[in-house]
């Protein structure tokens, strides 16, 4: 039972890390898109 509980915590941690990495990547891509559009306008 304790092992299962630890495993759950571990999985949640991994989920959070992946989610934050994914979010930062999306933000980065949007930023790059926006910069490119700005450059095209000038």
Give exposure, 3-39, as e/b (b: 16+ Cβ within 10 Å): eeeeeeeeeeeeeeeeeeeeeeeeeeeeeeeeeeeee
pLDDT more than 70, % of the chain = 95
Q: What is the mean pLDDT of residues 32-38?
A: 83
Give this prediction's pTM: 0.48
Q: What is the mean pLDDT of residues 2-16?
A: 85
| pLDDT beyond 70 at 12 | yes
| pLDDT beyond 80 at 10 | yes
pLDDT recorded at residue 42:
65
| pLDDT beyond 80 at 23 | yes
């Amino acid at each position: 039972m304790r092992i299962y509980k630890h495993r759950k915590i571990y999985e949640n941690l991994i989920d959070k890390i992946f989610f934050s990495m994914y979010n930062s990547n999306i933000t980065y891509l949007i930023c790059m898109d926006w910069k490119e559009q700005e450059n095209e306008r000038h």
